[in-house]
Amino acid sequence: MSEIKKDEIRKFIQEKSSVLTTMRGLLIFGKNTATYKFALIQSILKHNSKSEIYYHELRDDFVRLFLTYYQDNKYQFNIGETKFTKAIDDYLKSSMTGSDWDNLLRVAEKNIYNHVFDAFQNVGGGTLTEKHLFFDHDKENKKIIVRDNLNMILENEELRNTVNLEAEFRRKVVSEAWSSGLNVNQLIFNKESGDIVSVSLHRRTSLKGVVDVLLPYQKGRCFYCNKKMNRFEHKDHPDFPEGEHVFPRSLILNDPEVDLNPDAMWNVVVSCMNCNRGKDGKFTAPVSKSFYEKLKNRNILFVEEHEHSLRNSILFSLQAKNKQEVGVKMDRVNIHYSYINGWAPKQYFPDDY
């Protein structure tokens, strides 16, 4: 077990940590060589709290989910064909009888467990610490030994639903990057619909809600007041999460000295309804410069991801090559607008609220 090497990822997971934050760290920053990890966690979430889960108890759900994801996007494998993907191709070309499905399961059983369990808890060039682990892998007895961290999610319906939903939206973001061949593409926020749209040279694809894409990075809290938000509330409830431009569109668009797209992801966060458009909300006002550094650090965190849409979009929109250049570009924007004494929430909520 080696320590997580990337500082930003280690801080994200370990500082003021919770089981949900740790799981979000794996879903966001874990290596995405294919959709194995999404199929795995979504298969595990179908189980109730328990001490152990055997391979065969996960197999059918895992294969069904992976088969669906594979049909959605076959571009996820940069290592070429594997025994498992060949078996899937053969199954899809077959009559898909019960016998054909059994043949697929036999191949899957021999191949899908080679690395998926061990790799799942690897992140940031290392592995989760002992106190953050979700399970232990018992290869000899073909099972995983479930730790308290994972059982805390399995026995809590709200946590289970949140992880399942965020895993699915995360998969869609990653899948879109694979579809575009990991080319640099722009993610644009449409405030009216609340959607993120992926725009590349030959395609324009809706990735649906900005909240579902960005909320995990903010650990479920408002970018401004730090209140814990609830995506299941009514849209006019103070705790309802909404997409929000940090620097107002009009400010950027009418400034000839700033050549940036205000709708690109470098400038989009999630805030609670109260901060966005409540009685004392921000609306289209500039923000206090106290939030400039927070936005800069958030964008640097994006660049710690593997090569997919959010990382690519931040680099492209800021015309940067790496996280150091992202920091420099954000500093220039922040200095440029440092004269503004903008809006700030009247109340800031502590992390334990």
pLDDT at 39: 92
Query: For residue 142, what pLDDT is reported?
Result: 92
| pLDDT attached to residue 306 | 62
Report pLDDT digits (tens) over 121-159: 999 889 999 999 999 999 999 999 999 999 999 999 999
pLDDT at 175 > cutoff 80: no
pLDDT given at position 199: 59
Taking 60 as the threshold, does the pLDDT of residue 1 lie above it? no
Helix orientation angle between 36-44 and 157-179, rounded to the nearest 10 degrees:
160
Q: Which amino acid is at 17?
A: S
Work out the burial of residue 157: count CB atoms within 10 Å of its CB; fewer than 13 is exposed, 13-18 middle, 19 or more buried: exposed
- Interatomic CA distance for residues 13 and 113, integer angstroms: 26
What are the boundaries of each domain within the chain? 7-158, 183-336
Mean pLDDT of 16-21: 88
User: Using 50, 70 and 90 to split pLDDT, how confident is the model at 195?
Assistant: low
Residue 184 — very low, low, confident or very high, per pLDDT cuts 50/70/90? Answer: very low
Which pTM does this prediction carry?
Answer: 0.81
Dihedral of alpha carbons 126, 129, 135, 140, sign: positive
Q: Which pLDDT value is given to residue 51?
A: 97
16 falls in which pLDDT band (50, 70, 90)?
confident
Q: Average pLDDT of the chain?
A: 86
Q: Which two tokens stand for residue 353?
A: 């609220």
Calculate mean pLDDT across residues 298-322: 83
- Residue 35 pLDDT: 75
Residue 164 has pLDDT above 60, yes or no: yes
DSSP codes of every residue in 54-121: EHHHHHHHHHHHHHHHHHH-STT-TT---HHHHHHHHHHHS---HHHHHHHHHHHHHHTTTTHHHHHT
Whole-angstrom Cα distance, residue 125 to residue 236?
A: 42
44-87 pLDDT, tens digit each: 999 999 999 999 999 999 999 999 988 877 655 555 678 888 99
Q: So what's the pLDDT on residue 196?
A: 64
pLDDT at 156: 96
Q: For residue 205, what pLDDT is reported? A: 45
**Mean pLDDT, range 249-267, rounded to an integer:** 92
